[in-house]
Every structure is written in structure tokens, then in C-alpha cells.
Structure 1
Amino acid sequence: MPAPALARHLAALLPSQCALCHAWPAQRLCAGCRARFARPQARCATCACAVPEGVARCGACLRQPPPLDGCLAAVDYAYPWAGLLAQFKFQGDPSWAAPLARLMREAPGAAQAIAQADLVLPVPLAAQRLRQRGYNQSLQLARALGAGPRLQAGLLLRLHDTPAQSGLARTQRLRNLRAAFAPEPLAAPRFAGRRVLLVDDVMTTGATLHAAALALRAAGAGSVGALVLARTPPRHD
């Protein structure tokens, strides 16, 4: 086993410091930091952006309803979660999946959404990035959510690689993702009337999740929702 991988393996087995406050709680994110940095907040029911208390849907979703029936997020994509996600996503540390998935399960409505889903599908990663990274961070999170046999990683396919989406505007993301997803052909009948829950790490503009949802709806899914770890606050230009 390579030295970095061995170090990560040992770190997962041994008591560890909280990554944020450096206390020794024998877990990577202590209860105090979760309470401080992952406070529940009111979010739009269909895009998960923060909204005032008592508001069900944001103005953007009222004007143009998205193809998702619901969307849940645990935290905003900001300090400290952006840095921890970078370790998980880009620095080869899949051991972050379990503590980050715990945050997702603790989000209001998340446990119910997981329990009610017929199929739990991680958003597939582009093949080139999967080779570079060595794992799909969305699949790692989905496994750690505890969906059991309802987790079906191979049912949603990514048909072609797309340019890196980071930093792109929504219109460019949508253009890149046009026809990017499709159900596995032999499994397409399994979507008929099913309640599908998509799992991803970050929702920025929603373009990726919307493209996946449209493909699932075309295959006959009865409803499509999403659960993400972090939601990037929308820009107000």
C-alpha cells in the first residue's frame, strides 16, 4: 500500500482530531463544530438555496420551476466546508465520505427523503476525471448514507466527458451537459414510476442535477429529488 494511502487508512482507524477545532473527539468533525458550522437553515424546497424563514420556494424556482421535485442541502458551500470538500474531492482522501455523509443525513428532511426513495443514484463522474481522481466522490457519499440495496450506481450513465464545470455560468454548464446523461439501456424499465433520489457533493447552478433529472424523467421516473452536501449561494449580479 502506498505511503499516503496507508496514512489515510491508519487515520481512519485511530482516534483523530477534529479537522476544524483540533479537539480530540475520536471523530473527524466534532459535535460542537457541526453545531456551529452546519446550523439548519430555511432552504428553497426545489433548489436548496437559503431563503427567509417561512418561504417555501425562492423567486427563481417560482418563475421557472426546475425539473427536480425537491432538493436538500446540508450546508452552504463556504468556509469551512469548501476546504474540507477540496480534501475529499481533489486530494485523494475518500475517508471524508463518512463524516460528510453524516452531515447530509442530519439535514432537515434528508432521512425521510432517503427512506422514501425507491432508487438512490450518485451522479456519475466523467470518465477522465474518474481515472484522474480514482473514485467518484458522489458514490462515496451515497454509500455512506446507508441506502442499502436501493443504491444503484450503474443505472445512470454519463455518456460523454464534459469540460470542467467549476467557474462556468449556468448557461455554459447547461450547454456542456446537454444529453450528457442517460439510463442504462437494459435497466430503463426499472425507472417507471419510481421515486429517485440523486446524490451529489455540491450544487452550484443546478445544471448537472437538472440534466440528470431530465434524463430520468424521460425514462419514466415518477419523481426525482436530490440530496447534496453543499449548496453554492446563488450570485446576485
Structure 2
Amino acid sequence: MFRSFLSGCCELLTISVCPRCRQPLPSREQARLLCLPCQEHLEFTGIGLQGTEPLPWWSLGAYDGAFRRELLGLRKRPDPAMISALARSLGATLPDALCRDALLVAVPSWKRRANPLPQQICAGLPLPEAALLRRRHATFGQHHLNRQLRERNQAGSFCLSAEGERLAEQGLRACGDLPAPTWRKQQVLLVDDILTTGATAQAAALALGQGGFQVAGLLCLARTPA
């Protein structure tokens, strides 16, 4: 009887709950993921969204309705467990070929109190990450800017970080029969929380491309509806 009681206590202590609604999950296999009612509330399809303009991108859902409100709340009050669950859900929608030899690069912010979501999304994905970018200068808020003004606002706003410059220099020194650095064989995937016009992602991809990195596209939690 005591063993049965102890076993029951252990199960209660180790039970997995949804990080959003805190309700028990039906199985341990779903640990650190969202429950089905929360997925339906946020209108997740289970297959995500993807597109090719202005660069290849993969998203968990549309930046609209309940999911939009959820992300706005996470920007103000980051919840690591919730962000990790969203990142894992995003990862489950990605094609295997995309994740093979991929390197994550979070899109950095200029502000001192930076948006924490890109970095935390990277932490929730089972792929290596490198801080290859930094902001060269500040940019204006883009909420009310159209596509053309956003592109002008972001032009030249990124450059390689010290780590990015170090790796790029290693690549320039590789020549002849010498093997290329490991990162040369990896596709870089930019990571951001929201994709709107793609001006920020394009500027970041340009800076990486000029350093010799191969940018395969962008991973994001939400894509603004066209």
C-alpha cells in the first residue's frame, strides 16, 4: 500500500502540464508542448506556414487574433516555458532537410531592453546557435511604415559581430586543398518572432551573405497576413 501511495505521489510530482493553461497533458510525450485546446485557441494547423518572399520563411502561424495577442503579451512579459513550447511546436513543422547542418542566428535588437523572443526561440530549437550579427545603428519604429520605408529604415543596419568576423576571416584563409571551416557547410537560418514585410530579415541576410555565410531563410513564430 505504501509503495502504491508513493508511486502515486511521484506521478503527481512529475505530471506534465500545458505551459499556457497549466492543465495536465494527456501523455509525457507531449511534455513542454501546448495542449490541444490551446493549440486550437491559437489557431495552429500543425503544419505551420511557409513562403518564399522576400526570402524563404517558415512560421508556426499567422500574426492575427489570439496568437497575435499572445505574442504581444510575451514581448512584455516573457515566459520561458511558453516560448520554449512555441519553439518546439515550430520545430515540429520544419522539414528534416532544412534542419540538417543548419545554424541558427537570432536577429538582434538595437534597444538596450531588447526583444527577448528571438534568442529564446533559438534556445527552444534542437539546433546549434551562433551570435553572428550585431546592429550597426539604431532604426526607427516600423509599426506605421510601409514596405519601401521599412527597407530604407533597415538598409545597412546590420553587420557581422566579432564572432561573425572571426569565422568569416577563417573562411577567407581557407584555400587550396585545405578543408573549409565547418560553418561553411552549414545553412544559416535567421530567427525572429514576427515576419512582416521582411525588410529586417533581408538586411540581416545581406550582412551575413557579404561575410560568406549561406542564408537558407528565416524561422519565425508568426507571419503577418498579406
TM range (shorter): 0.7 to 0.9
Q: Which residue of 1 aligns with 2:126?
A: 146
Q: Which residue of 2 aligns with 1:187?
A: 167
In 2, the alpha carbon distance for the partners of 1:166 and 1:128 equals: 19
Higher alpha-carbon Rg: 2
Given the superposition, is the C-alpha separation of residues 23 and 92 from structure 1 closer, same or farther in structure 2, using an over 3 Å criterion? closer
In 2, the alpha carbon distance for the partners of 1:192 and 1:108 equals: 22
- The answer on 1:73 being equivalent to 2:51 is no
Given the superposition, is the C-alpha separation of residues 43 and 100 from structure 1 closer, same or farther in structure 2, using an over 3 Å criterion? closer
TM-score, normalized by length of structure 2? 0.72
Given the superposition, is the C-alpha separation of residues 93 and 165 from structure 1 closer, same or farther in structure 2, using an over 3 Å criterion? farther
SS of residue matched to 1:80: helix
In 1, the alpha carbon distance for the partners of 2:48 and 2:24 equals: 29
Structure 2, gaps ≥5 residues long:
1-13, 26-31, 172-182
The one-letter amino acid paired with 2:44 is: A
Contact 1:114–1:120 (CA under 8 A) maintained in structure 2: no
In 1, the alpha carbon distance for the partners of 2:18 and 2:207 equals: 42
The one-letter amino acid paired with 1:73 is: S
The one-letter amino acid paired with 2:198 is: G
Q: Which residue of 2 aligns with 1:54?
A: none
- The answer on 1:200 being equivalent to 2:200 is no
Q: Once the 2 structures are TM-superposed, how far is the Cα of residue 80 of structure 1 from its aligned partner? A: 1.6
Contact 2:133–2:159 (CA under 8 A) maintained in structure 1: yes
Contact 1:94–1:137 (CA under 8 A) maintained in structure 2: no
In 2, the alpha carbon distance for the partners of 1:220 and 1:102 equals: 29
Among 72, 82, 94, the alignment partner of 1:96 is: 82
Given the superposition, is the C-alpha separation of residues 145 and 160 from structure 1 closer, same or farther in structure 2, using an over 3 Å criterion? same
TM-score, normalized by length of structure 1? 0.69
Alignment RMSD: 2.8
Structure 1, gaps ≥5 residues long:
1-12, 48-65
Among 201, 204, 215, the alignment partner of 1:212 is: 204
Q: Once the 2 structures are TM-superposed, how far is the Cα of residue 88 of structure 1 from its aligned partner? A: 1.3
SS of residue matched to 2:57: strand
Given the superposition, is the C-alpha separation of residues 79 and 175 from structure 1 closer, same or farther in structure 2, using an over 3 Å criterion? same
Identity rate of aligned residues, in percent? 31
Cα deviation digits, residues 181-216 of structure 1 (max 9, x gap)? 111233324565641111111001111111111111
Given the superposition, is the C-alpha separation of residues 17 and 227 from structure 1 closer, same or farther in structure 2, using an over 3 Å criterion? closer
In 2, the alpha carbon distance for the partners of 1:17 and 1:217 equals: 39
Among 157, 162, 171, the alignment partner of 2:148 is: 171
The one-letter amino acid paired with 1:127 is: K
SS of residue matched to 2:109: coil
Q: Which residue of 2 aligns with 1:39?
A: 45
Contact 2:49–2:61 (CA under 8 A) maintained in structure 1: no
Q: Which residue of 2 aligns with 1:106?
A: 92
SS of residue matched to 2:105: strand
In 2, the alpha carbon distance for the partners of 1:99 and 1:16 equals: 11
